[in-house]
Amino acid sequence: MKARTKAAKRRVHKGGRPRTEGAPREASGKVDRKWSAAKTSEDVMRTGINARVRLFGLTEAQAKTQEGGTVIGRLLIGKEISLDQARAAERYTEVRNAYQRAIGATPETGTPPPPPMFETGGGTFEDFCESAKAAQRALQNCLQSLAVEARSYNPITALDVFVIKDEFAAHLLGDLRIALNALHRHFTQERRRAG
């Protein structure tokens, strides 16, 4: 359809980006930055929630929770693992991150490491390093004895895949449960010894 008047031709051939309608504006006529930043962050959150719902089959309420963002959390939501097992996985991550920090390596997991004890008034950095290394040695001994009992390194591999790499592998789910049960026993005994 051809434009008949000069003004109609200008409207048809208008270049540039379409004007954002209904947006609050500054005195100069620009879109208000606070409004556009809030709108952008809402869009990003909505995209992430929709992806969790679509990919993992979660409800919208479950997708909004922190547990919906990790494999271990989704297994907990789906009742594939117990709350004690999920807490053992979280504690395993904390011990591993503390050890990584003590030796000067960056943690491989996406979560930031917890603040070390020396920053929270619990002693010097050397004390923190020694306690982190001792906790890691005890954890490694627990996992080695598990490997001997299970006659397989699959439980350790399952921890690496599910907890550290945050990936899902259905064939390792049973081994993950075995490893998390062993870690739960280890951390419970450790708490009893300390308490």
pLDDT digits (tens, 9 = 90+) for 122-136: 678 888 889 899 999
The secondary structure of the chain in percent helix, strand, coil, rounded to multiples of 5, reads: 70, 0, 30
Q: 159 and 95, same structural domain?
A: yes
- For residue 18, the model assigns a pLDDT of 72
Mean pLDDT score across all residues of the chain:
84
DSSP-assigned letter for residue 4? -
Name the residue range of residue 190's domain: 69-194
The whole-model pTM stands at 0.71
Look at residues 193, 188, 195, 168 and name the one whose alpha carbon lies nearest to residue 91.
Answer: 188
**Is 165 in contact with 153 (CB distance < 8 Å)?**
no
Q: 182 and 158, same structural domain?
A: yes
pLDDT at 108 over 70: no
Domain contains 10: no
Q: 181 and 86, same structural domain?
A: yes
- For residue 87, the model assigns a pLDDT of 95
- For residue 191, the model assigns a pLDDT of 83
Q: 176 and 111, same structural domain?
A: yes
Average pLDDT over residues 85-98: 92
Q: 158 and 127, same structural domain?
A: yes
| Whole-number percent of the chain with pLDDT over 70 | 85
Number of domains in the chain: 2
Strand stretches in the chain, DSSP E = none
